[in-house]
């Protein structure tokens, strides 16, 4: 009996470092207006691969636009597990109807609340072709909204309201970037809108 307790204790002690070394697989995403990840999780869009079970996990290197995910992989955060988010689907991602100058509220849902540097929101340029993958050259790389967060942790849900820029028509994409303060990563979220 004593031997068995010693084995159980040894196994438990060995498991602790392994458990601590496994990174969390949950973080955050834009739930409204629905991001591509949120639409996949809700079943609004099908053939989404793994993102349908992990809409909160679109994590990639931070530093956008100077660094970060490669062009054509911005919506997946450069994470090949979620490459379906980068597929423009021939411009057929469902959109949320908006107008220039409209105040639009973006709501994040968090499953892990990381220390945060900022939230930034970018919009595609006039003439954007929604049938092509998202690249830096298709985005206005000056955010239309920046929300500094000073290293604080967000609550389980958080909303930001922005005035949408003018000069856009048709299908456009909002790229939201949640910059994490204490890691080399950020979370990326693409939301399709129609002006």
Cβ contacts of 131-134, under 8 Å, gap ≥ 24? 131/88, 131/90, 131/91, 132/88, 133/71, 133/72, 133/73, 133/86, 133/87, 133/88, 134/71, 134/72, 134/74, 134/75, 134/86, 134/88, 134/173, 134/175, 134/190
Q: State which H helix or E strand residue 26 sits in.
A: none
The pLDDT assigned to 1 comes to: 52
Residue 186 sits in a domain of what CATH number? 2.70.50.50
Q: Is residue 4 part of a domain?
A: no
As given in the structure block, the two tokens for residue 23 are 């990174």
Residues with Cβ within 8 Å of 4's Cβ and at least 6 positions away in sequence, in order, are: none
- In the chain, how many domains are there? 1
Q: Is residue 137 part of a domain?
A: yes
CA distance to 28, 47, 138, 139, per residue, from 71 (Å): 22, 22, 10, 11
Q: What does DSSP say about strands 185-194 and 96-97: parallel, antiparallel, or unpaired?
A: parallel
Q: Is residue 3 part of a domain?
A: no
Q: Is residue 5 part of a domain?
A: no
Q: What is the mean pLDDT of residues 9-13?
A: 43
The pLDDT assigned to 2 comes to: 53
pLDDT confidence tier of residue 114, bands split at 50, 70 and 90: confident
Q: How many CB atoms lie within 10 A of CB 139?
A: 22
Q: Is residue 20 part of a domain?
A: no
**Does the pLDDT of residue 4 top 60, yes or no?**
no
Kindly report, residue by residue over 132-152, the tens digit of the pLDDT: 999 999 999 999 999 999 999
Q: Is residue 6 part of a domain?
A: no
Q: Is residue 1 part of a domain?
A: no
The pLDDT assigned to 31 comes to: 97
Q: Is residue 160 part of a domain?
A: yes
Look up the domain containing 48 and give its range: 26-194
**Local structure of 13: helix, strand or coil:** helix
pTM of the model as a whole? 0.86
**Does the pLDDT of residue 26 top 80, yes or no?**
no
């Amino acid at each position: 009996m004593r031997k068995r307790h010693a084995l159980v204790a040894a196994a438990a002690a060995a498991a602790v470092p392994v458990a601590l070394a496994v990174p969390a697989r949950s973080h955050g995403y834009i739930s409204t207006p629905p991001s591509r990840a949120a639409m996949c999780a809700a079943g609004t869009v099908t053939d989404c691969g793994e993102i349908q079970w992990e809409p909160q996990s679109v994590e990639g290197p931070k530093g956008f636009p100077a660094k970060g995910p490669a062009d054509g992989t911005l919506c997946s955060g450069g994470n090949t597990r979620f490459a379906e988010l980068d597929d423009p689907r021939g411009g057929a991602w469902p959109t949320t109807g908006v107008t220039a100058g409209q105040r639009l509220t973006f709501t994040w849902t968090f499953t892990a609340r990381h220390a945060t540097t900022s939230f930034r929101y970018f919009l595609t340029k006039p003439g954007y072709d929604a049938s092509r993958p998202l690249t830096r050259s298709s985005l206005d790389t000056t955010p239309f909204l920046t929300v500094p967060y000073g290293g604080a942790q967000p609550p389980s849900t958080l909303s930001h309201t922005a005035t949408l820029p003018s000069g856009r028509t048709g299908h456009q994409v909002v790229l939201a970037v949640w910059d994490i303060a204490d890691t080399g990563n950020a979370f990326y979220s693409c939301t399709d809108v129609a002006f």
